Amino acid sequence: MTDDAMTVTTASGAVRGIDDKGTRMWLGIPYAAPPVGSLRWRAPVAPTPWSGVRDVRTFGPAAPQPDLPVMPLGDSVAKSEDCLSLNVWASSSIPPGQTRPVMVWVHGGAYVLGASSQPLYDGRSLVESGEVVLVTVNYRLGAFGFLDLSSFSDDEHVFDSNLALRDVVAALEWVRDNIAAFGGDPEAVTLFGESAGGGIVTTLMTVPSAQGLFHRAIAQSSPATSVYDSVRGRRVAELFLDETGVALEEVHRLRELPTDEITRATFALFDHIPTTAPGTLAFAPAVDGELVPDYPVETFRRGQAHPIPLLIGTNKDEANLFKLMRSPLIPITGDAIRSMFDRIAVERPELSVPPEDEIYAAYDGVGDKARGLAVARDIGFRMPTVWLAEGHSRIAPVYLYRFDWATPFFRMVRIGATHATELSYLWGNLKGNKLDPTFMLGGRSTGEAVSARMQRRWLGFATAGTPDAGSGAPQWPPYETTRRHTLVIDDRDRLHEDLDGDIRMAWGDEVLSFP
């Protein structure tokens, strides 16, 4: 493939990508100006146009974050506040002049970690069939993307809220305006993401300014109720000021602090807040009355989210990862769960929280430790997902799943189908590195079959709105409150009616958003 064939003109200037054995890649394309200096904690603005042809053959910088061996960001990937870039992946088999549906990926990482450059998100497998054009997005993380300083704004110093959400909206606007030049159809965009990325997806389904920018949505393990109000946002901001030693009356000085200091303070609060307030995150989307009008789960419950098809689900053993990490991100002990319920009762007295014994009755026969993990799984991920499915199914097709597949090794070490384990199957990247124990005890051939079916369903949903996997696999009907169909993804896919009946009835439908 010649350089001329890989040169594409965007609204900001021409870019030249690379063709790697049939996969075309344009990496690190800026979709917004660097959010630095006076633009730190401001909504994204368009990048400065460039002349000539910009080389986009390597990933752009990841958002500032610590180095974690378990989450490699990619070879030679830098970290910088200048992180607002995206990547386009497409098969060279797409004929010139034709377009394909677009899938836009939002990575996870608890709103503080991750990048589109992670090897896990290598897009070759997803685009090799030529059915879709793929876009993967970087956005601001931690305090840079989720610290709400808007209540400190004055005529001289203005701060915007929900910066990471605004980043993703800006990326979707870039897709709308530019993706046709790369072979993508801007009228057939599926927004998909996992964990924090799934939370961004479900939140943007309730954001008025995002309406029309995507036409289908996929949310994997969305922490849909981890969206907080402006009062809490102010409280976290004040804690952040204390951590950085900046006085309230000099909040503008935060724009002068070094990147490393903001990152250090981000992770100090990231560790502190879930410890003192189990069940809450330091950084997450906020109900600001502007970009996000209301708690997303309340909007879904009223049937007022954007009326687009939704594929949504969780993993069977979500919480096991947090036990393994000894992380306080979600409460998994009896004391922490009890503390969370007590805080909800105080801060949201209008909610009818079911008595603890009634909830625990749904986990009859489960040991104390396993019960804590099950409650954490359901309060953090499964029940919010079911609540969203219940409400949204009244206005648009919803496809609910649960990912149950775990390799023999993961079952042996009691990790199971924990948080994020579905990702390598979705992306078709099962090889891992030399130290990856996933298939140490076998299961690779089954895993490859799981991956093929999962990709087939996700691609089918993105291209035709129907997540079916072809002959030999069960059809996946939409979720309806009369039958509540759920697809269980395992060594063989299975269809269930009201898979979550016991826990759904125990939790009720009123505990919808948490402080």
Question: Is 471 labeled as catalytic in the residue annotation?
Answer: no
Per-residue pLDDT band for 471 (boundaries 50, 70, 90) equals: confident
Reading the block at residue 184, the tokens are 């993508």
pLDDT at 326 over 60: no
pLDDT at 365 over 80: no
Percent of the chain at pLDDT above 90? Answer: 80
Give ∠ CA 142-147-153 in degrees, rounded to 5: 150
Percent of the chain at pLDDT above 70? Answer: 95
- Tell me the DSSP string of 116-127: TT-GGG--HHHH
Q: What is the pLDDT of residue 469?
A: 86
Per-residue pLDDT band for 361 (boundaries 50, 70, 90) equals: confident
DSSP strand pairing (53-55 vs 100-106): unpaired
Q: What is the pLDDT of residue 9?
A: 97
Q: Mean pLDDT score of the chain, rounded to an integer?
A: 92
Give the C-alpha separation, 448 to 261, whole Å.
Answer: 44
**Within 10 Å of residue 488's Cβ, how many Cβ atoms?**
18
- Tell me the DSSP string of 343-360: HHHHH-TTS-PPPHHHHH
Task: Dump pLDDT digits (tens) for 92-111.
Answer: 999 999 999 999 999 999 99
Task: Dump pLDDT digits (tens) for 44-67.
Answer: 999 999 999 999 999 999 999 999
Across the range 393-421, mean pLDDT stands at 97
pLDDT at 448 over 60: yes
Per-residue pLDDT band for 148 (boundaries 50, 70, 90) equals: very high
User: Which of the following is catalytic: 91, 116, 195, 222?
Assistant: 195
User: Which of the following is catalytic: 131, 298, 318, 390?
Assistant: 318
pLDDT at 369 over 50: yes
Across the range 425-442, mean pLDDT stands at 89
Higher pLDDT: 110 or 340? It is 110
pLDDT at 303 over 90: yes
pLDDT at 139 over 70: yes
Question: Is 419 labeled as catalytic in the residue annotation?
Answer: yes
Q: What is the pLDDT of residue 322?
A: 83
Give the C-alpha separation, 203 to 287, whole Å.
Answer: 10
Q: Say what the pTM is.
A: 0.96
Instruction: Tell me the sheet residues that pair with 418.
Output: 317
Reading the block at residue 411, the tokens are 């079952």
Residue pointed to by tokens 């909040």: 251
pLDDT at 432 over 90: no
Task: Dump pLDDT digits (tens) for 172-202.
Answer: 999 999 999 999 999 999 999 999 999 999 9
Q: What is the pLDDT of residue 515?
A: 36
User: Which of the following is catalytic: 419, 422, 451, 513?
Assistant: 419
With beta carbons less than 8 A apart as the criterion, state whether 499 and 402 touch.
yes
Give the C-alpha separation, 178 to 87, whole Å.
Answer: 12
Q: What is the pLDDT of residue 353?
A: 65
Phi-psi region of 70 (alpha: psi -120 to 50; beta: other; left: phi over 0): alpha
With beta carbons less than 8 A apart as the criterion, state whether 363 and 375 touch.
yes
Reading the block at residue 313, the tokens are 């689900």
Residue among 28, 291, 66, 312 at smallest CA distance from 194:
312
Q: What is the pLDDT of residue 345?
A: 63
Q: What is the pLDDT of residue 513?
A: 41
Reading the block at residue 268, the tokens are 């100090």
How many Cα neighbours within 13 Å face the side chain of 20? 14
Q: What is the pLDDT of residue 35?
A: 98
What's 205's DSSP letter?
T
Q: Which domains does the chain have, with CATH numbers?
A: 4-73+80-331+373-507 (3.40.50.1820)
Question: Is 318 labeled as catalytic in the residue annotation?
Answer: yes
Across the range 204-210, mean pLDDT stands at 98
Tell me which of 290-294, 380-384, 400-404, 434-438 is least confident: 434-438
